[in-house]
A and B are shown apart, each in its own frame.
Chain A
């Protein structure tokens, strides 16, 4: 990319709406009249008064907001037996449960049930054990069935049955235990909206190939949670995503850059150190270096099962399929998830190998790859793939740290020095020089 190029830039109009929706969600989880649980499934929204809070973003936010509380939290877990090197999201969040309060001093919102997402890594599967071991609240496990190799639809049938049964049992149990009626009509609506949002996400992902990048990785991390970790009304979710998608398309058509002096496009591979997102801005302001995301975030909605980024075939809501019962709905959903396009666990085993494809498709100039201590899902074949990137002509920097949700071991000053060395070794000078 040519040095010194200037692009027109403009703040995102969608930001204000995103902030409103996010604030509304934050307010909703602070309501005390709801049954609060640990989980992340969208279908919880079909209960009238159930609220789920996922420990993943909670842990990240605590790590970012208060180092001292995050340390206290982790220690509270460690002295009770939790491994010091298990997923940082877990210990940083659940320490508050043992302490009894949160980082702002308010009472810890004790969970009344747990539904872990059994995906991606062992820590996800065991997620919420802290809650269950702390007090005997209901915990419903799910399986993310997967297999490797050629697709075998017959093999998936039992997996669909398993997932469907387990999900329906959860819903039925929750109706009985919490005395709330599950709204099947709302569930169908959510399924439709999920399908539409999937398409919009893919579009936004594809727009990130454009030079100049219409968004940065920071934007992606903020917006891609809307309707997922940040759970909002299904119709509102679709409206928001359409607005966002259209705006990003307009930016691409008019070459509106996220970073006006973009001169270096770099990629990542997995989540960043959430407690130290400052480095994104550091790279932008000092070198005009913009992070275009990764195969983990921007590439994910586009990644096909062969690891390419040519586009993922999201199933649309099948108008010819009768969805008359709760089982029909969940069976359809399980069908998508067991091995199809939403299969996070499969993704996790495709992603590590897809760095070169991402770099090429998304027109990256270099890669900044984290090596996370004990990061069981983040480090597989990392250095080997770095070598392959270098062989293909991409500049690569590796840096070490504890996990994305754990700031224990990360040397932030050293990290910035490394970034300077990396950029200067490629002939870039800080704009301030």
Chain B
């Protein structure tokens, strides 16, 4: 478990070492809809701008009363934690993250910066075309910035590396469907987060070996099976707390969790169209899930597939997107008798309060868990 957690914690050192080794450029991205394949094809290392809380004396004047991940990112940026980043890109999405991007851009005018429009209306007939056009612009910008021509072969190579990564992550996810999974939710989340800050080709090698290890690993025992929903996560403190309490998060539907890798790029001659369709077809976060929603049904399917006993919905305070989506999610969970517990948090999770809430939630779940009380045992009347 420690290996991936350390990779996430040491992400800044990793990126700096990567730059020193390759002489390449690093680009920071704010939204999980960022088409990393294009940056990767240009020889650039794309890294997710993961927020991390530290005493904040500086963000308030830029992003007052902001969602905490965004203000923590501003704090980190202004304090130079991301001083190794050569460029930043924001994709149309969460407006809090756009604000963080704006501050980063305006306080570091020498950085390469790009705003990529990705329709909020993902299902329109023309959405694929407008996104394809935007990807073409981005290719051009990357070529100008790096001086590297992005060929079809470069894109094919990048798509292959990223698809491989997605496939490996799906294999790990499949292992979590077992009656007694061999890995915990915290470990799985650290794996996904590490993938977002590392060179994917290097990460793929690590994952291949890790899967081999997992297949030999003994199960961790029967536990309450939980699902995690809500705002994006930046650490695994919640998953670890759940594990301490005797449960396990066996699946999530977080924007930078399973949704990050759930679907692949399906190849076609027009590579940019293939990328466009992939990003428009991924499991959506609330801002992209409009009209005839897909998200609640996707969540329900995951609860079935992963035999979830209950759902935790952890929303970041001030998250407008999940604040606007929870009604539909609560509704489907209630209609289908899936117990859930909702709470708000910020970047620092109040440990004892959350612990008490989760203990109460699990106590509520236990009597109904036929699997745990032993449905195959002889009845004692």
Give Cα distance in the complex from A148 to B329, angstroms.
34
A80 with B327, Cβ < 8 A, contacts A122-B320, A349-B102 known: yes
A161 with B129, Cβ < 8 A, contacts A118-B121, A374-B65 known: yes
Q: Cβ of A125 and Cβ of B103 under 8 Å apart?
A: no
> Separation in Å of the B51 CB from the closest CB of chain A?
16
**Which residues does chain B contribute within 8 Å of A349, judged by CB atoms?**
102
Q: Cβ of A82 and Cβ of B323 under 8 Å apart?
A: yes
Is A155 among interface residues, defined by CB-CB distance under 8 A? yes
Q: Cβ of A158 and Cβ of B61 under 8 Å apart?
A: no
**Which residues does chain A contribute within 8 Å of B326, judged by CB atoms?**
81-83
Q: Cβ of A380 and Cβ of B99 under 8 Å apart?
A: yes
Which residues of B1-27 are within 8 A (CB) of A? Answer: none
Give Cα distance in the complex from A376 to B64, angstroms.
9
Q: Cβ of A83 and Cβ of B324 under 8 Å apart?
A: yes
Q: Cβ of A166 and Cβ of B328 under 8 Å apart?
A: no
Which residues of B45-70 are within 8 A (CB) of A? Answer: 60-67
Q: Of B62, B129, B330, which is within 8 A of A380 by CB?
A: B62
A162 with B119, Cβ < 8 A, contacts A86-B323, A132-B291, A133-B327 known: yes
**Which residues does chain B contribute within 8 Å of A149, judged by CB atoms?**
114-115
Q: Cβ of A161 and Cβ of B130 under 8 Å apart?
A: yes
> Separation in Å of the A126 CB from the closest CB of chain B?
4
Q: Of B63, B94, B117, which is within 8 A of A159 by CB?
A: B117
**Which residues does chain B contribute within 8 Å of A86, judged by CB atoms?**
320, 323-324
| Segment at the B interface, from A136-144, A185-193, A213-221, A232-240 | A136-144
Is A85 among interface residues, defined by CB-CB distance under 8 A? yes
> Separation in Å of the B341 CB from the closest CB of chain A?
13
Which residues of B190-234 are within 8 A (CB) of A? Answer: none
Is A121 among interface residues, defined by CB-CB distance under 8 A? yes
Write the chain B residue with the least CB distance to A86: B323
**Which residues does chain A contribute within 8 Å of B60, judged by CB atoms?**
383
Interface bin, chain B: 35 or more
Is A379 among interface residues, defined by CB-CB distance under 8 A? yes
Q: Of A121, A141, A155, A381, which is within 8 A of B124 by CB?
A: A141
Is A371 among interface residues, defined by CB-CB distance under 8 A? yes
> Separation in Å of the A100 CB from the closest CB of chain B?
17
Q: Cβ of B320 and Cβ of A87 under 8 Å apart?
A: yes
Is A50 among interface residues, defined by CB-CB distance under 8 A? no
> Separation in Å of the B334 CB from the closest CB of chain A?
10
Which residues of B325-375 are within 8 A (CB) of A? Answer: 325-331, 342
> Separation in Å of the B289 CB from the closest CB of chain A?
9
Q: Which of B287, B315, B323 has the most CB of A within 10 A?
A: B323
Which residues of B290-320 are within 8 A (CB) of A? Answer: 290-291, 293, 315, 317-320
Q: Cβ of A379 and Cβ of B133 under 8 Å apart?
A: no
> Separation in Å of the B106 CB from the closest CB of chain A?
8
Q: Of A142, A148, A169, A376, which is within 8 A of B320 by CB?
A: A376
Is B146 among interface residues, defined by CB-CB distance under 8 A? no
**Which residues does chain A contribute within 8 Å of B116, judged by CB atoms?**
147
Binding site for B on A (CB under 8 A): 77, 80-87, 90, 118, 121-123, 125-126, 129-130, 132-133, 139-143, 145-149, 152, 155, 157-159, 161-162, 165-166, 169, 349, 371-377, 379-384, 387
Question: Could you write out 22 A-B pairs with CB less than 8 Å apart?
Answer: A81-B326, A81-B327, A81-B331, A83-B315, A83-B322, A122-B94, A133-B328, A143-B119, A143-B127, A148-B113, A155-B134, A159-B130, A161-B126, A166-B124, A373-B65, A375-B65, A380-B63, A380-B103, A381-B61, A381-B62, A381-B63, A381-B103
